[in-house]
């Protein structure tokens, strides 16, 4: 892959990259289309990265279907699908990790210790292998996007990070490979995340700037159906991810919940006008 990337660069081709863990859905494919728009060559990686899963998380049962993913990517005219093996990425005696401090100490980083070290490490490795000009990331994983943007800046990586809006199902549920774990009834309950976010957003638009009021309203809606366990409802500074009391600049309302055994996250940006 590295040799191919070198050759493409020598030919003056612009490389666009979409890293994924596979089990692709419309959200992933929208990122691929964005990469296509920006570049001559589109590379998509599929790798369920073990270092970003905690010991009690779903690494072994994370959904996988390479053949289906390959078909979907071929329909999108993806030029290169990169699907390395675990021991190619982490051979024996692998010692090096990338940590983006501060930004990992909020939101999902609080309950998923070490998760973002795994994410930053694999993305840095993939960037060195694929050598992209552009890399497209979904806003659905807002903290991940923020961390990758910071890593690129702090480590002087010559790559443009392109954020992409969250792609949702018709009813508003954010698309996720993990949605496949949900029973039809859990899907209904999962919708409360979107409803609660929209309600808080409405209050914000009508002038409410007290973060506690918005969070309380979102929590009220989330708790209205049984079977949604709130992990956090947070309103934080969109850049530093520190929790806000009053919303005076661009903020992100982020939610993490468990619906049955499935952990779901979503977020929306709260900004003037
Ligand atoms: P994953 O395969 O879940 O690691 O996600 C790979 C990329 O797709 C990441 O940049 C995610 O933020 C992005 N992504 C996942 N779900 C969505 C979605 N519903 N809308 C937009 N981007 C998404």
Kindly compute the dihedral angle of the four CA atoms of residues 209, 213, 218, 223, in this order, to the nearest 10 degrees.
180
Residue nearest (by alpha carbon) to ligand 1 atom 11 = 138
CA 26 to centroid of ligand 1, rounded, Å: 9
d(C-alpha 66, C-alpha 205), whole Å = 43
The token pair at 141 is 């994983």
pLDDT of residue 170: 93
CA 21 to centroid of ligand 1, rounded, Å: 9
Are 82 and 45 in contact by the 8 Å Cβ rule? The answer is: yes
d(C-alpha 68, C-alpha 23), whole Å = 8
pLDDT tens, N- to C-terminus, the chain (273 residues): 999 999 999 999 999 999 999 999 999 999 999 999 999 999 999 999 999 999 989 999 999 999 999 999 999 999 999 999 999 999 999 999 999 999 999 999 999 999 999 999 999 999 999 999 999 999 999 999 999 999 999 999 999 999 999 999 999 999 999 999 999 999 999 999 999 999 999 999 999 999 999 999 999 999 997 789 999 999 999 999 999 999 999 999 999 999 999 999 999 999 986
Hey, which of 27, 137, 265 would you mutate to test ligand 1's pocket, going by the most ligand atoms within 8 Å of its Cβ?
27
Closest to 36 (Cα-Cα) out of 14, 3, 12, 66: 14
* Catalytic choice (28, 106, 115, 133): 28
Are 130 and 5 in contact by the 8 Å Cβ rule? The answer is: yes
Residue nearest (by alpha carbon) to ligand 1 atom 6 = 20
Q: Is the distance from the beta carbon of residue 232 to the nearest atom of ligand 1 less than 6 Å?
A: no
- CA 240, 241, 247, 252 dihedral sign is positive
pLDDT of residue 225: 76
CA 143 to centroid of ligand 1, rounded, Å: 12
Q: Is the distance from the beta carbon of residue 174 to the nearest atom of ligand 1 less than 6 Å?
A: yes
Q: Is the distance from the beta carbon of residue 109 to the nearest atom of ligand 1 less than 6 Å?
A: no
Q: Quick one: which atom of ligand 1 is closest to the CA of 24?
A: 2
Hey, which of 24, 25, 28 would you mutate to test ligand 1's pocket, going by the most ligand atoms within 8 Å of its Cβ?
28
Q: Is the distance from the beta carbon of residue 137 to the nearest atom of ligand 1 less than 6 Å?
A: yes
Q: Quick one: which atom of ligand 1 is closest to the CA of 22?
A: 2
Q: Is the distance from the beta carbon of residue 21 to the nearest atom of ligand 1 less than 6 Å?
A: yes
User: Can 28 be counted among the known catalytic residues?
Assistant: yes
pLDDT of residue 239: 96
Q: Measure Cα distances from 143 to 102, 140, 187, 239 in Å.
A: 11, 9, 24, 10
Q: Is the distance from the beta carbon of residue 28 to the nearest atom of ligand 1 less than 6 Å?
A: yes
Q: Quick one: which atom of ligand 1 is closest to the CA of 31?
A: 22
pLDDT of residue 82: 98
State pTM to two decimals: 0.96
Q: Is the distance from the beta carbon of residue 48 to the nearest atom of ligand 1 less than 6 Å?
A: no
């Amino acid at each position: 892959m590295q040799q191919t990337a070198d050759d493409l660069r020598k030919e003056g081709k612009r490389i666009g990259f979409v890293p994924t863990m596979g089990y692709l859905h419309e959200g992933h494919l929208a990122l691929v289309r964005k990469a296509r728009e920006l570049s001559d060559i589109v590379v998509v990686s599929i790798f369920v990265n073990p270092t970003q899963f905690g010991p009690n998380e779903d690494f072994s049962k994370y959904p996988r279907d390479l053949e289906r993913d390959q078909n979907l990517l071929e329909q999108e005219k993806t030029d290169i699908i990169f699907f390395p093996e675990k021991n190619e990425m982490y051979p024996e005696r692998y010692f090096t990790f990338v940590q983006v401090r501060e930004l990992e100490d909020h939101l999902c980083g609080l309950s998923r210790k070490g998760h973002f070290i795994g994410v930053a490490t694999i993305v840095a490795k993939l960037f060195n292998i694929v050598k992209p000009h552009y890399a497209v990331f979904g806003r659905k994983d807002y903290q991940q996007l923020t961390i990758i943007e910071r890593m690129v800046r702090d480590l002087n990586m010559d790559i443009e990070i392109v954020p992409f809006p969250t792609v949702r199902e018709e009813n508003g549920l954010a698309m996720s490979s993990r949605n496949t774990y949900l029973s039809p009834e859990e899907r209904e309950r999962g919708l409360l995340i979107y409803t609660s976010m929209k309600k808080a957003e409405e209050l914000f638009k009508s002038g409410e700037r007290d973060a506690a009021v918005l969070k309380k309203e979102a929590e009220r809606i989330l708790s209205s159906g049984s079977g949604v366990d709130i992990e956090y409802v947070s309103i934080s500074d969109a850049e530093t991810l520190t929790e806000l009391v009053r919303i005076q600049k661009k903020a992100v309302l982020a939610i993490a919940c468990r619906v049955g055994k499935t952990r779901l996250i979503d977020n929306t940006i709260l900004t003037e006008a």
